[in-house]
Structures are given as structure tokens and as C-alpha cells.
Amino acid sequence: MPVLHIRLFGLLATIWGGVLTYFYVSMRVSKYLAENFHHFILLGGIGMIILGVYSIINPQEKEPSSCNHHEDHHHNHDHSHCCDHEHDHHHTHEHKHHDHKHENEHEDHESCCDGHHAHDEGHGPGVTYLLTLVPLLIAMNYTQDRFSDAGLARQGAYEAPPVSSAPFTREDLEKNVPKNARGEFQLSLVNAYYAGGDRELHQVLADLPVEIEGRLMEEKVNNSEGKRRRLYRTFISCCAADATVAGISLDFDTTNSEIPNQSWVKASGTLTFEEHQGRTYTVVKVNSMEKAEEPYSEFLQRNR
């Protein structure tokens, strides 16, 4: 590979390493990976930068491969595996232009060998840059760093919680769930979501004053009057590719649009449960709602 190509590929590695480092420093990585994977992005970015800079400063040109020709060989070997002719000086018939014929055959053999190795050049660095940098730049400039509404729906934002049963009492609630200054239980949205599928929990949590934090989106379940919004959180094992979305309904007295969708909020109100099309959903009848600070990580982890 020519020195110029090595340096160009070194520059490509440096750019990719810089992008990974930027995602870590800017915290954009928190939109894609669980928190305990973030440092791998930083280490990978630094490693690629080091590799790329080394290739730019100290490129090692690779010698092209070629057929082995020795000036002192006797042309008694057979090249039929490469070209459709043989080098043999012991012909059974005479030809007065024997030397000229052998020279032509040797040229044919060299051209054959050259053709045999021509495919090693590949498509060149230009195509590589086009295929690696253009999608990267487009993705960095146009991604919203979050699921679209359709993506949230596919990941389960509007699904009812699975039916379950787990022993839990009011004493357990008082012992394990903290309260805010107004005496409202600061209940996890994921716990509130799964409580909808546990009828025994309904007796413990129904009409409970709660404060729940999450991200807002449009409500599409049992919202004929347009007075409801949906509050959701996303939980994962490692990255956004395995995400599952848990959502609960927020019921307002009037149409509420002061705070735009995709904002992080704290909603305070009364926890209730309702039946809709044979499934049970968690609903908070909202007394107040305010904007909340976005957490460091977009995601909750399943193993926590």
C-alpha cells in the first residue's frame, strides 16, 4: 500500500476516534449506552486516535507481491498453472527464430502474472472514505439522539403491563419508598407501570399520593377527550438496541400542552388503575406537573 494511502487511512482512524471521544465528552453516549459501558467508548476513541496518528507520522509501506524470477534459472520449470504455455528449451522440432519465440513467451508469462496480481489493489481509499465518513456525518447532524414516536410505540410505550403477582404490603411501601416534602411517595415509573398488572398491588397502591418522574409523550390509549399525556422511561441491558419502554397515563382536568412532549417532568397526583379492552393500565390523576432536570443517563438498567 502506498504511503499516501496509509496516511489517509490513518486520518480516517483518527476521525473515528475523535467522534467516539466527542460522544463521551459531550455525554451524547448516554443516549445510546448504559452508564457502565461509557468508559469503553472513551478508551476505544483514544486507542483509534493513537493508531491513526502513528499511521500518519510513521507509515510503513508494504512491498507489492510479484512472481519469483531468477536471472540464473534454466527455464526448465512448468508455468502452465499461471499461463497457457510451457518454458522448455528442448523442443522436438527446429525453429530458426527460437530465441525470439522464447522472448515472446516470457513476456506473455510476465503479463499473465501481472494480471494474476492486479486484483489485489481493491477499490481504493476514495470509496472507503465515501462509505465510512458520509453516513457518519449525516447521522451526527440529523439524529435526534432519541427514539421517534413510532420507535417508542414499537418498543412497548403503549402496551399494558404483564400480569404478575408479588407479595407487597403497605408496610413494605412505607419502608422502601421515600416521600417528598408534600408527603407524596416518590414512586419509580417502572414500578408504577408493573403495578398495573398485579391485582394484589392495586389494593396497596390505589389512591396513593405519588410523585413520578419521566419523559412526556402523546397519549394514544383511551384518550378520546384529549386530556391525557403519557409518561415513560426506557430500560435496557446494555444499549438502545435492546431497549424496552414502560409508560403510564397522566390524566388532567383540562387539555394540557404547556410543557412540550419529550420534556422531562415530575408529575404529582393520585395513583389509580383502570380497565381498557380487557387489560389493566396505571393512571395518575395529575394535580400538578413541573419540568425536571434530565438525568445523566436516558436509561434505567434491567440488572439494577
Provide the residue count of the chain: 304
Looking at residue 90, its pLDDT comes to 45
| Domains delineated in the chain | 150-301 (2.40.50.140)
Looking at residue 48, its pLDDT comes to 93
Q: How far is it, in rounded angstroms, from Cα 105 to Cα 16?
A: 50
Average pLDDT over residues 186-204: 91
Q: What angle do CA 194, 199, 205 make, to 5 degrees?
A: 70
Looking at residue 298, its pLDDT comes to 79
- Maximum pairwise Cα distance, the chain: 113
Average pLDDT over residues 122-146: 77
Grid coordinates belonging to 193: 407501570
pLDDT of residue 11 exceeding 60, the answer is yes
* pLDDT (tens digit per residue) in 59-116: 876 665 554 544 444 444 444 444 444 444 444 444 444 444 444 444 444 444 444 4
Average pLDDT over residues 285-298: 90
71 or 265: which carries more pLDDT confidence? 265
